[in-house]
Structure 1
């Protein structure tokens, strides 16, 4: 139905037969001028030129972050070493370390070194909990003492005793006697 100007309410048809509402029709409606082509070329050129620069920038930022983390770790290590150096300036710390590490004792003291001679299975079998109650063992301590004394007394000697008076010097070789 035409309006007062004589036009109908429909959009005019294009020469290709489409009314412009199709999906492919919008692409044909774009006009490329010289300026738009130059701007697209500049945009493509900027992407090509700046892409490696941006990648290098991101890589350098990552390296900077890693180096800062390494520097902070080294600063913590330096602080730990300074604290340890300060501890070694304390005489009490030095005496404690000499006692623990080197088993030194002060003059007049007696040092006892306890050797744990349990088997590996006995060392790892620590599942028995500690009780707050006093418990009494039902073992015969006299028999245990007697067994221990007999075991120690009947054990073979580690090395046979050598009497220094009974030893004689080795005989001289026969070749030296003929001289």
Structure 2
């Protein structure tokens, strides 16, 4: 009786007691595997758990896949929109800075000294009692009235050879000659 208690497996739901196959069942095997197996020899056999996919498990996997795909699409859309939002915020910030800059410039035009300085620089105007000079080019065109004068900038090799006072004397000589003589 003691042997029976030691060799017994617990019984319960899903478990059955150890049973040995009957002799006629073993004789129905065909071929070389018809020999006595380890189970029939009295040794317990460990069987791999059977993986059974039920209909519920398949439906759960399909539902999970659909949910993951929908979240992936939503995540992709969120990523694209966050990039667009960052671009739009940068554009708004740049335009706000430009608006502030233009408002500052508009406020400067309220100052009469600034208006006078701009009239002198851009239009070549002078105050009453002042003498205005205009710089003419070789063809008699006015060079003033613009913010940049052609020919002024980095000196070239020819300009480096002559001294500044030589260029000044040449400029005065050209200014004294009548327009008809320059043509």
Q: TM (normalized to structure 2)?
A: 0.49
Q: TM (normalized to structure 1)?
A: 0.50
Query: Relative CO higher for 1 or 2, CA cutoff 8 Å, sep ≥ 6?
Result: 2
